Amino acid sequence: MLQEKKIGFIGGGAMAEALLRGMINTGLIQPQQIIVSDIIAERRDYLAQAYAVSTTGEIHAAAKNTDILFLAVKPQVVKAVMEQLSGQVATTTIVVSIVAGLTLAALQAKFPGCAVIRVMPNTPIAVGAGMSALALGKLATKQDSDLISRIFSSAGTAVTVGEELMDAVTGLSGSGPAYGFVMIDALADAGVSVGLSRQTALVLAAQTLLGAAKMVLETGEHPAKLRDMVTSPGGTAITGIHVLEQNGLRAALIDAVKAATKRSQEMGKK
């Protein structure tokens, strides 16, 4: 399904690199099918050497005759980029934006006749463990959705939601890695405080959260049920959970997601 597609990237930053790495490493796409446009020559040279993809400093060259075109530039320059591309992209091209805050309506206005898809990935996509949410434009078909989902699934997991939920996605999975990093850092500090070395505490904390997440995803069990499996009567885990509840960890995480969602909504109105 993807072996005959030509893929273009406007912007060759970390997210673009994570995607092309995922596609190439999983065999979805061959390097010769990909062309990346970036304004920084050193970045173009790096991508060409690391992944054997074609690179260019000219955005029109990356957009010409592509079947799928990824917009992977900074939000502050995306309007200028779309202006340059206006009228240059064939209506058979699927235009995919990973630009924060760029709406489907804005995409559709600049690429009339194209199927447009908006995606919110998160940073763990860089290590093949990303969480990406897709929102489909009015011209995007199920086949288009399946195609783009396969690409993002090559670097993690992908789901499809209505665009009205993209701010909620941003508040939860988009911002979520930051919450996880804070928890890992805090757990590592706690480990040091009870006598562990910093490096050992960090590995213990990070791997423990990774394992807990993997159990939720692979067993399909509710987190509360898995928690109950760990909390034996009068044991250490229930004692620790009691302290977490006393200090409002659950409420703090809920409030963090709600606040981040609200902030995303505010940013989208600017």
Residue 97: strand pairing partners: 71, 118
How many C-beta atoms lie closer than 10 Å to residue 256's C-beta? 17
Q: Is 14 annotated as a binding residue?
A: yes
E strand or H helix at 119, and its extent? strand 115-120
CB 241 within 8 A of CB 234: no
3-state percent breakdown (helix, strand, coil) of the chain, nearest 5:
55, 15, 30
Q: Is 74 annotated as a binding residue?
A: yes
Q: Is 11 annotated as a binding residue?
A: yes
Q: Is 72 annotated as a binding residue?
A: yes
Which DSSP string corresponds to 122-143? Answer: -GGGGGT-EEEEEEE-TT--HH
Q: Is 128 annotated as a binding residue?
A: no
Q: Is 15 annotated as a binding residue?
A: yes
Residue 35 gets the label, from left (phi > 0), alpha (psi -120 to 50) or beta, of beta
Measured in whole angstroms, the distance separating CA 46 from the mean position of its chain's CA atoms is 22
Known binding site: residues? 10-15, 72-75
Known binding site for NADP(+): residues? 10-15, 72-75
